[in-house]
Structure 1
Amino acid sequence: MDELVVKEKKRGLPLKTLILPGLLLAGIAVQYLELVDWFEVLEISRGYAHHWWFPPLITLLMILAYTLALPGSIFIWISGVLFMPGPAALIIALGGLGGAVAAYFFSRRLSDGMTSRITNSPLFAILQRHGDFVALSAVRLLPGFPHSVINYGAGILQLPLTAFVPATLIGFGVKGYLYATAIHQVTRADEGARFVTWQLLAPLLILAGLFLVAKLYMARRLRSRSR
């Protein structure tokens, strides 16, 4: 009987290992193949924006999207268009953080069967060494970097939550406020105004660069102490 249970577990392992990459590929397809009419979703949302329950609903939907590796950018747009930059940034930060933590534990749970193989590989040692708060913050702040890859990767590698959570909060907090402000300004400006501008990207790139410089400095100090 025990042998049958073991065989069933072994048979179930390949399916579990396919779920995470499958969700990531599905999320990329939804985003880049434009399978959802985001403008229609935005227009529907306008009719409910005045209700008290709508911001919590947007936050929960954003959490669900990031948990399943779906693009959360639509909720960033909805928040930026329908709300002032402050409340919109709060929605983005809470939704992004909640979704990241949920995705972290979701991927960690599904990758349980691979843990021993991952932790014994040389690649794991390298990624874990560069999965600290400074490095995660830098990656979070990079414009266009897929958050789902960070969330699932951190869960699979079981990176410490003490680094993952603060870095996620900083990334979504800073990005959320800058994006919400930019969207708010664009939607109230002339039709020729552009959302992606150097004024928007520069702070994110500078902050990411500073975190990377700090990371290199810390690594250099550690090497000098070990000599």
Structure 2
Amino acid sequence: MDDVHKLKKLKKRRPSYQLLLLVALLLLGLLAQKLDLVDWLEVLEVSRHYAHHWWFPPLLILAMAAFYALALPGSFFMWLTGALFVPIVATLIIVIGGVGGAVGGYFVSRRLARRECARIKHQPLFNFIRRHGDFVALCAVRTFPSFPHSVINYGAGVLGLPLGYFVLSTIIGFTLKGYLYSAAIYQLTTMDEPGEFLSWQLLAPLIMLSLLFIAAKLIFGRKPSLANGP
């Protein structure tokens, strides 16, 4: 009986295959982004031939959403869309695709980590991270340059952050990033030295916005967390 009891206890402590799959998706996505396995310049050249078709923007939105939902490097679509369309149209595509993929990633991680979350939801560290994962914090990390969106999407799902605040912060983040990137790429077509522009004129506003969100978080940090609902 003692052995059976120990075995059951060991099984409860052992991570479920759903959690292992979630971690694998996240790590593979980050690795794919670092290795840059796809020749995106070739994808851009092919895309130019089809960008004028009515079905191409919806296809971009679906592809971007799928990439983000599966923790793949969806940020490329910001650059691809910015190179193919005027800033306003590109921003709209980026926001719809980014938010769709973020919500998909949220529910994928929520589903895969549900059993593990039930085990650790009363742990102090889990509650601490969840308590500080409020609307302002989500806006700060979402607007910060190069911060992996897959980490935000999956992390919010695992923590069970309120979907409404998650979606709103995602809309804000993708709107700001999407427009800045799209406008920058649009201007790059007429610039002789784009590297200097990208090094600070594009990143500085995003960093400043992120710091402003962090400052607001520190100033109003003693107020009740939005992660616990209104």
TM-score if structure 1 supplies the norm length?
0.89
> Which residue does the alignment assign to 2:5?
none
1:128 aligns with one of 105, 111, 130: 130
State the AA in 1 paired with 2:167: V
**For each residue in 1:120-171, what CA deviation from the matched residue of structure 2 results, as whole angstroms up to 9, or x when unmatched?**
2111111111111111001111101000000000001100112111111000
**In 1, distance between residues paired with 2:222 and 2:32?**
42
Matched, 1:193 2:194: yes
Moved over 4 A (4+): 10-13
**For each residue in 1:187-214, what CA deviation from the matched residue of structure 2 results, as whole angstroms up to 9, or x when unmatched?**
3322x32252322112111111111111
- Asked if structure 1 preserves the Cα contact closer than 8 Å seen for 2:68 and 2:102, the reply is yes
Alpha-carbon shift at residue 69 of structure 1 (Å): 0.1
1:41 aligns with one of 38, 43, 59: 43
- Asked if structure 2 preserves the Cα contact closer than 8 Å seen for 1:118 and 1:157, the reply is no
2:82 aligns with one of 80, 83, 86: 80
1:105 aligns with one of 104, 107, 110: 107
> Which residue does the alignment assign to 1:182?
184
2:121 aligns with one of 103, 119, 122: 119
What count of residue pairs does the alignment treat as equivalent?
A: 213
Between the aligned residues of both structures, percent identity stands at 58
State the AA in 2 paired with 1:193: P
Question: Which range moves more in the overlay, 212-221 or 173-182?
Answer: 212-221
State the AA in 1 paired with 2:83: V
State the AA in 1 paired with 2:100: G
Alpha-carbon shift at residue 78 of structure 1 (Å): 1.1
1:51 aligns with one of 34, 45, 53: 53
CA-atom RMSD, angstroms?
1.8
Alpha-carbon shift at residue 15 of structure 1 (Å): 1.6
**In 2, distance between residues paired with 1:221 and 1:56?**
41
Alpha-carbon shift at residue 180 of structure 1 (Å): 0.5
The unaligned stretches of length 5 or more in structure 1 are 1-6, 223-227
**For each residue in 1:11-54, what CA deviation from the matched residue of structure 2 results, as whole angstroms up to 9, or x when unmatched?**
99632111111111111121111211111111111111010110
**In 2, distance between residues paired with 1:188 and 1:69?**
33
Paired residue secondary structure (2:180): helix
**In 2, distance between residues paired with 1:118 and 1:39?**
44
TM-score if structure 2 supplies the norm length?
0.88
